Structure 1
């Protein structure tokens, strides 16, 4: 073999291997790589890339527009992006804001938002719940500003104007005499003036079935104008009770007497969380004269009221005292009248009592107010034993 022939053979073998490798690559990739390289120029490939980028950008723009449209429809319903509160005490633009008689907190909050005083009624309600849920708004005209924070507006509406008002706070469990005494001390008006008026309930729009104004002196905090008369002051309190009755759908003289009297008993017979079941038990007693209690309420609180005392212990002799018209052990049905002025929770419970099978209830822990219920007298006696044990351990509390 010559030197020249031997030197020319290796390149041909390398060329053959390269072609074989190319053939193998085409087989693996379906000829795509080679075809792309052969069929498309660099300009064509660049145009393809631009088209791909443009498609992605267009699709993104369409999605963004659709998202904006969806958010614009949903956000008002969901409250998104709404301003929740303003800052500070206002922008200097004064607003005369009026709280009408019987206005609810929700109504006040909505009116404040509508007049531009606050940014959001829900925020105002939250601030009220956190700071002053036990305080009441007094009817009247208030000078506020636009764009006040909820806290600033609340403070202004609840501000005690000592120069022009008399502040009086009335507790839920006070009887009429206690309330009239507090009114006299807070306003400087003679207690006798209040008592004389209290004996004329019909002059305040109270049904004639009520012996006095007892039951209608709505509890809460009051800021009476200094020039208000005794008649005007009592009328404000009575109107609050009448408005609460209206809110709970209570109308008609007999129905009003029933609800207010039962509600007044609830205030003394248990804690607020027990008002509904106790109200149900009272209705069972009143509506079933042949039931476990033969139509007798048997409330110690009513007997104590008739006796003019405050005590959890009523003797057998006191329970048989026929001269006490509030003695629900001796007389069937409701007592002569209310035994105090109930608040909103008690009135609501008396107007819509829980439906249950109870006839008996007893508070077995006077410090916590824990109350036990029973359907039968035998069950009730076991609950009374729990109460007696408590009194043995806490004799001073059971006097």
Structure 2
């Protein structure tokens, strides 16, 4: 998806993340050299993977690669951003989507749900011309119910499963780490292992501030008790979903691996390598590794 307002760096990052091009620098350099400056239309595009940078740019500018009435929702996308993507990929106005989403009771969600957060399954959707906002959103909700049913989640457990899966989705990186992240948070909910009962997730705090794209927070944000999603202050599971999780996160919520870990930190943002620790000393050592990596890669700062 190319979103309204995306600049060259955002588009290049998307292409790298999706495996369309290998190098950020190669594509971005061609983008800067192209005159007149390319104009990209928001929406979904179908491209091959492992493309040469110049070929990828030509493909993006070819009207034939833009998919009509198609929306791509990546795992972990927040609902506010899903609504934006639907409006960019279809003819449905954003205002219609926001109005439909506000009528939460019409979608058959668990009674605890006050928004659609967590229940818009991340996938690629193709809608028909004339589909309404209600039809589009219900299709995503139904697809999430299908995922939960396939995973063996009882209707009564849909809410708790989605809340936990949404947290794992935002905090985990590599595939195998999802099951370890799940275990860390369950260990923190066990008073015999983690007395405070505080999950201490930056992703929950960021969500509560409205920063749906971040998993970093400030000292002031982590101290704000007015943020109901602040798991540095409020013990127990986060009060609601913080993203729309996919199959892997749902499975990890249901089937955590066994382990004693209480901490984790990603020490290489390029590879996603994450260190899981049991003691404060182990974790502090891993944090130093991460800090050193960040100093060597200031572009991530």
TM over 0.5: yes
CA–CA distance in 2 between the matches of 1:289 and 1:199? 37
Counterpart position of 1:227: 130
| Alpha-carbon offset, residue 189 of structure 1 | 1.2
Partner of 1:281: 184
Larger RCO (alpha carbons 8 Å, 6+ apart):
2
* Counterpart residue number, 2:203: 301
Task: Report the equivalent of 2:169.
Answer: 267
**Alpha-carbon deviation of 1:293?**
5.5
The reply to whether residue 173 of structure 1 matches residue 69 of structure 2 is no
**Deviation by residue 1:253-296 (Cα, 9 ceiling, x = unmatched):** 4x22221112112222122221011111111112x134235211
Task: Say what the alpha-carbon RMSD is for the aligned residues.
Answer: 2.2
CA apart distance, 1:315:
2.0
Show the 5 A alignment for 1:206-217: 206-217=109-120
Q: Which has the larger radius of gyration?
A: 1
Aligned to 1:239: 142
Paired residue total = 237
Shift of 1:312: 4.2
Q: Does 1:344 align with 2:244?
A: no
1:250 to 153, 156, 160: 153
- 1:205 corresponds to which of 81, 91, 108: 108
Separation in 2, partners of 1:211, 1:395: 40
Where in structure 2 are there 5+ consecutive unaligned residues?
1-47, 49-64
Output one character per residue of 1:220-271: Cα deviation in whole Å (capped at 9) or x when no partner: 1111111221111111101111111111111144x22221112112222122
Counting helix residues as a fraction of each chain, which structure ranks higher?
Answer: 1
Matched, 1:365 2:268: yes
Q: What are the equivalent positions in structure 2 for 1:28-47 lying under 5 Å apart?
A: none
Query: Could you tell me which of 86, 94, 112 is aligned with 1:191?
Result: 94
TM-score by length of 1: 0.56
State the alpha-carbon separation in 1 of the partners of residues 298 and 236 from structure 2.
Answer: 32
Structure 2 distance, partners of 1:185, 1:380, is 42
Tell me the CA shift for residue 334 of structure 1.
1.8
1:342-377 per-residue CA deviation (whole Å, 9 max, x = no partner) reads 111111111222122111111111111111101122
Among 344, 355, 358, the residue aligned to 2:258: 355
Runs of 4+ in 1 over 3 A off after TM superposition: 310-313
Question: Taking structure 1 as reference, are residues 312 and 230 closer, same or farther at Cα in structure 2, changes over 3 Å only?
Answer: closer
C-alpha contact (below 8 Å) 1:282/1:359 kept by paired residues: yes
Cα distance between partner residues in 2 of 1:393 and 1:191: 41
Structure 1 residue matching 2:127: 3-state secondary structure: strand
Describe the superposition over 1:130-176 as per-residue Cα deviations: whole angstroms up to 9, x where unpaired. Answer: xx9xxxxxxxxxxxxxxxxxxxxxxxxxxx9x7xx611111113211
Alignment partner of 1:358: what SS?
coil
For residues 344 and 322 of structure 1, do their structure 2 counterparts lie closer, same or farther at Cα, with a shift above 3 Å needed?
same
Q: Is the 8 A contact 1:293 1:359 kept in 2?
A: no
Whole-Å Cα distance in 1 between the matches of residues 148 and 278 of structure 2?
30
Matched, 1:381 2:261: no
Partner of 1:332: 235
CA distance in 2, matches of 1:172, 1:211: 21
Inter-CA distance 284–341: structure 2 relative to 1 (3 Å threshold): same
**Structure 1: which 5+ residue stretches go unaligned?**
1-131, 133-159
Is the CA contact 1:277–1:353 (under 8 Å) kept in the aligned structure 2? Answer: yes
Instruction: Answer yes or no: is the 8 Å Cα contact 2:119–2:144 preserved in 1.
Output: yes
